[in-house]
Structure 1
Amino acid sequence: MREVMIVSRTWEQAKEMLLKKIVSEGKKYLSRFGDTLRCEPSLVVVEKPDYFFDIEHDFSGWTFCGESYLSRVEKVLDICAEKIKSSPYTRRVSIPIWMPKDHHCRNPPAITEISLLPVKELHATAYIRSLDAYNFFMHNADFITFVLDYVAEKAGFDVGSAGFIASIPHIYLRDLKHIDLDSDYEEITGFHPLAVHLKEDYLSTAWHSAMEVVYHNGMTKRTEWGEIFEGQKESKFVQRLFIEVKNPYEHQIHDKAPFTKKYAIDYAHDYMICAKFIDRPVNERILKEGETYTYAERARYCERDDLIVDQLYTVIEKLKQDRYRRDCYVGISRIWDLKSDEPPCLRGYQFVGDHDHLKGIFYMRSNDIYGAMHANAYAFSTLTQYVAELTGFQRHKYYHFAVDAHIYGEFLKAVKEILEPETPSFFDKT
């Protein structure tokens, strides 16, 4: 097991480290804007986020699709602050920036989601579908910092850390001459109080390692579910759990998983994919009676959207046209989730083409590691496999990210029995 991530004191240091990582590990890819070097999806965390630009922080001029980043979030920032203020242990504050209609835009937003997590201080985490680390790191970092600063002040919290998952960190070859290549970069290995990055061979070992890191390193806090379920009043959790699974085809389900393979397949096909329409667009209602939402409904036919877009089918068609596109993102979250007591845990996912394989990167604001993560990962990986097959890739890799990865108090004993099984003694056998 090998774990790497960038954790730095400031954004400036993080930018320098990420640039050196791209130069050191990057592969060359063609782009409509110029040839690039890309490295693997990267987790970046800054302990004390500060601004690159000291001028007034007005983001109204930073536009995409005829709108600005500020216009997508300004109406909900006070709602976020009030929710955190009233429930200072909430995991339910995550701001969607991406909208399904952005698939019709030539240059859609790079930041697709910003999640806010109160843990003594207020912490922010973003998903960035594509990051030009030389030219636009500063703008992305400042916007994340602005959202964090604003909500923290309104909610009465001190500012904590900020971070992001960048699915496609890259630089343009024309900018190489501007980058200092003399010094080395250093990545953190193993567990860090602000983040965890694991590399695993299989889905089953990923689940086992996730339980292990939360069980042994997690902090304890209250949860909102404790108002309904006594056993879920508290959880042990870690922040920003990022797992890469290199071979998701073998050893898919752990022998101690709390579900059957049939359940996993049904969950993947019905709740996640709407598999009967995997190779064609959905033009009809997906939700069954009694369902508020499903991940398939949000991805493919959400009736509440102003413009209904089958995002999954759209990204499949995009990949068929250009396997290295950077905008193959599917947004699950919606702005009205901020007023919900049960917002989707999955916020969005992206498919990224590599030379011979397809990467599936899935971003969750919250993940029940014992009760849900394994089934989630199986379904998300299955979807990535299907998309890879439909778009001509030989294989796929799976990436799993959770802003708050937790084990509820009622499951700690079950987790301990999996991680530390008792060995029968001689007397037990006689």
Structure 2
Amino acid sequence: MIVGKDFENAKKRAIYKVIEEGVPCSSRFGKSINRDPILLIVERPEPEQIIPDSFSERYFERVKRVMEIVVKKLKERKYTRRMSIPIWRPEEHYAENPVAITEISLLFDEKLHLTAYFRSLDLLNYFDVNFHFLSNVLDEVSQKAGLDAGSVAMLVAVPHVYERDLKRAEMQAEKCEEIYGYTKLGTHLVEDYISSAWHSAMEIIYNMGKTKETEWEFERQRRSKFVHRLFIEVRNPEENKMHDKAPFTESYWLDYAHSYVIYELQKVSNPIPKTEEYTYAERARYCERDEVKVDQLFEAIEKLRKDRCRRDCYVGISRPWDLEIDDPPCLRGYQFTAKSDWLNGIFYMRSNDVYGAMHANMLAFALLTKYVAELTGFRKYKYWHFAVDAHIYEGFLDIVKEILYPKMKKDR
């Protein structure tokens, strides 16, 4: 995680980390140096006028369509976790140049903050225009909703610079160390196992989280403790998977993974059976409400098989109509990227119930990443988990406390 006071500061530090830790990769645009995912946070963004290009015009058009409902809902409940704007469309898989920003999420925490997911970003040439677009969106929404504007964050799946620009990049790079652990604007955890990642996430929220109201009427879920922007890297997702205090069985999470998240590993060309309003598998594989039906997971796998350096193996779960439903998908999208012989699976969530759902989410999403790694010939894989609002409901804090700090039994 990199936190900068302004966008220039964050940009220079990000370029340094790419040069220092990136690996060479080839693309149709030229040879580049690619790094693992990085979370960039700018504390004090300043909106600036930008010269629109084909990408920013698409972004503005898609945000403009939903601006009215976003502002309306923020005015009604500024603490909502449901204001996340889908930019990606399933048919982007057939586009020559699919959008780089796939999702824009808004969350109120003393001020209104914005977080965006980038499937790819050329830090040297396109950081400025994309950042200023996001700053302008935050400024406009904040003003219309009557809220103070806060920070802008960018979760970039493949931050890169091109080799042809390397000398120029080196001149701009600013040496820095990444930030790990908790900060007010974001938390970055690195864990060996999924089980320890779940435990650490609960510990951070239990000890550092803020309390706020929620949109649920259930007695135990009316208030929650939360942290803003929880980013977790799991290095060995195959080992020590399930915590012994997990609130579910192994058969539960395996069924959840295969029925709700994955469905099947063949190409899907027909509606997927479901008993709920939606499933992640249905949104990823065959969504009946989509004008263009795309098995996005299949497309992502096929792209990786042909070219490991592809930066557009993204699967969009969110849809524009989510803004008008009471329980929109918490998972907004996921992406598979490569670094040498490693496959990265990166999963972006607008909201995550850390005690009740996160552990099962992580196990299922990591299993999907494992399957994709096997199907595309990668020897190893790494799992990355991100939640804009990571929380524990107030009614479950006592249970979490007992998991974190079990009472010692007295000797008789």
For the criterion TM > 0.5, the same-fold answer is yes
The AA in structure 2 aligned to 1:350 is Q
Cα RMSD, aligned residues only: 1.3
Instruction: Tell me which residue corresponds to 1:307.
Output: 292
Distance 2:232 2:294 in 1: 29
Q: Select the residue among 122, 129, 153 that pairs with 2:119.
A: 129
Q: Distance between the aligned counterparts of 1:256 and 1:94, measured in 2?
A: 32
Q: Is the 1:35–1:173 contact (alpha carbons within 8 Å) kept by the matching residues of 2?
A: yes
- State the one-letter code of the partner of 2:71: A
Q: Say whether the 8 Å CA contact 1:207–1:374 is kept in structure 2.
A: yes
**1:86-106 Cα shifts (integer Å, max 9, x gaps):** 011100000000000000001
- Tell me the amino acid that sits aligned with residue 266 of structure 1: D
Q: Deviations over 1:162-190 (max 9, x none)?
A: 10110000000111111327752232232
- Residue 179 (structure 2) aligned to one of 175, 181, 188: 188
> Out of 256, 267, 278, which is 1:281 matched to?
267
**Aligned residue in 1 for 2:221:** 232
1:340 aligns with 2:329: no
Query: Relative to 1, partners in 2 of residues 1:416 and 1:145: Cα closer, same or farther, differing over 3 Å?
Result: same
For 2:178 and 2:261, the matched residues in 1 are separated by 34
Residue 158 of structure 1: aligned partner: 148
For 1:305 and 1:183, locate their aligned partners in 2 and report how far apart those are by CA, in whole Å: 44
How far is the alpha carbon of 1:62 from its aligned partner? Answer: 3.1
Aligned residues of 1:287 and 1:293 also touching (Cα < 8 A):
no
Q: 1:258: which partner in 2? A: 247
Give per-residue Cα distances to partners, 1:385-425, cap 9 Å, x unaligned: 00000010112100000000000001100000000011112
1:47 partnered with 2:43: yes
Contact conserved, 1:328 with 1:351, CA < 8 A, in 2? Answer: yes
Structure 2 spans left out of the alignment, 5+ residues: none
Mapped to 1, the partners of 2:323 and 2:371 lie a distance apart of: 31
Paired residue total: 411
Question: For the Cα contact (< 8 Å) 1:218–1:238, is it kept in 2?
Answer: yes
Tell me the residue number matched to 2:136.
146
Provide the C-alpha distance between the structure 2 equivalents of 1:135 and 1:119, rounded to a whole number of angstroms.
31
**1:268–1:379 CA contact under 8 A, matched in 2:** yes
| Partner of residue 405, structure 2 | 420
Q: Which amino acid aligns with 2:325?
A: S
Say whether 1:247 aligns with 2:236: yes
Percent identity, aligned pairs only, is 56
Whole-angstrom distance in 2 between the partners of 1:325 and 1:345? 26
1:113-172 deviations in whole A, cap 9, x for unaligned? 000001221000000000100000011101111111111111100001110110000000
C-alpha separation in 1, matches of 2:269 and 2:4? 47
Contact 1:78 1:154 in 2 (8 A): no
- In structure 2, the partner of 1:364 is 349
The equivalent of 1:320 in structure 2 is 305
C-alpha contact 1:77 1:147 (8 A) present in aligned 2: no
1:101 maps to amino acid: E
Query: Does structure 1 conserve the Cα–Cα contact (< 8 Å) formed by 2:12 and 2:173?
Result: no
Q: Distance in 2 between matches of 1:92 and 1:203?
A: 26
Matched, 1:6 2:28: no
Deviates more, 1:28-37 or 1:244-253: 28-37
User: Is residue 78–residue 151 contact of structure 1 (8 Å, CA) maintained in 2?
Assistant: no
Aligned match of 2:105: 115
Q: 2:16 aligns with which of 20, 31, 49?
A: 20
1:251-280: per-residue Cα shift (whole Å, max 9, x none)? 1100000000000100000000002xx0x2
- 1:20-99 to structure 2, matched below 5 A, reads 20-51=16-47, 54-55=48-49, 57=50, 59=52, 61-63=53-55, 68-99=58-89
> Could you tell me the TM-score, scaled by structure 2's length?
0.98
Alpha-carbon distance between aligned partners in 2 of 1:366 and 1:334, rounded to the nearest angstrom: 16
